[in-house]
Chain A
Amino acid sequence: MALRESSTKSGQAADLQIVTGALDGDGRDGNVPSGGLLAALAEAVARWHWPEVAELREESVQRLGPEQTCDAILVAAGFNGITRVADAIGIRLDQRTAAASVALRAEIGIDAFAPAQKWASGGA
């Protein structure tokens, strides 16, 4: 959600398909500076694929710089933690955010990650 908001403020809308991986491998950045590289680095960090992280880190240091690369990894690491809190506590989406993001959530298919059985109690 925040990606769209920040993109709108910048005057150039991000192509949200870069979030889901639909643009992977075609060289496009989704209207985010170095978006393709950052998305690949984020995914490799999230999956703990360290050899791939090492390659992408080197590429990122060359293209973006060491501080920028370090911060991208810091953000990825943080969200690797906070997604676990959200899933393990089973928190619901805030009503305000949910109402404001109905169309966006459908566009990137994120509602598929919240099946009804996530909150269903009882039974096997």
Chain B
Amino acid sequence: MTDISAPKPTEVSTALAVRDDVSAAHAATLRRFAEPGGWWSAADRLAIVREARSAPACRLCAQQAAALSPGAVQGEHDNSGVLPPVAIEAIHRIRNDSGRLTRRWFDDLIDMGLQPQSYAELVSIVASAVIVDTFAQGIGADMPDLPDAEPGMPSFETSPDVVDAGAYLPIAATGRANILRSLGLVPSASRLFFETFSRSYYIQPDVRFAIGRRQVELVASRVSAVNQCFY
């Protein structure tokens, strides 16, 4: 008799070991999720992460993914009911179908009452959660537990040092590349994301990989292509 509880030959029973700097960076991200942010409370930020984690099972998102245009399928996203519908829409589309986001879609979110700064922070949280969770699952581990929410109010910060560079939001006035400037409207949101991302690419001079530069660039390029990201 086959023991159905035994690991299949293709399954890895233990996760790969992770470098200390990567573990520390991702642990810091998890802690920051549980702190009050620029425009969302700690409880809201954790709810955004949980919603991003559950979004892959959303039936509406599956129908939209199969449609020629996501706007052709209307309905309600499967959700926990904790966050407002405009935030649910943003989280699900960013998590599940980011390659087909448009200016009109973004404008609709703003018309529905979402503040641009709240949107910037939501983008940062969802994308940071995608990194931490994708990495954990990719190496064969479970998605990490989330801390309890810390008390406090959002800071309602808005950077004055931004410019219109043709993006949906104003971006930081200065910086090496537009992607590094992209979340500059809310500096804490920018720090959250890029400190999470910093272990995944040559952003900081101390970053080293056990694979070669060409291999790193191949992996990065292939993921960008899969996600239909022109940038």
Contacts and interface: CB of A to CB of B under 8 A. Distances in A.
A81 B138 contact: no
Interface string B170-209: 0100000111011100000000010011011100000001
Contacts of A92: 165-167, 178
Interface stretch (B73-81, B121-129, B147-155): B121-129
Contacts of B182: 85-86, 89, 91
Contacts of A79: 200-201, 219-220, 223-224, 227
Taking residues whose C-beta sits less than 8 angstroms from the other chain, chain B's interface range is: 35 or more
A68 B10 contact: no
A106 to B, nearest CB: 12
Interface string A63-90: 0111111111111111111111111111
A102 interface: no
B218 A89 contact: no
Given A70-B139, A118-B103, A38 B131 contact: no
B61 interface: no
Contacts of B115: none
Contacts of A83: 98-99, 223-224, 227, 229, 231
Given A51-B10, A89-B168, A81 B222 contact: no
A95 B126 CA distance: 28
A74 B200 contact: yes
A108 B225 CA distance: 9
Contact of A113 (B165, B217, B218, B229): B229
B227 A120 contact: no
Contact of B218 (A38, A68, A120): A38
Interface string B117-144: 0001001101110111011011110000
B1 interface: no
Given A6-B217, A92-B167, A78 B210 contact: no
A80 B131 contact: yes
Interface of A: 2-3, 5-7, 10, 14, 18-21, 30, 32-35, 38-39, 41-43, 45-48, 50-51, 53-55, 57-58, 61, 64-94, 97, 108, 110-114, 117-124
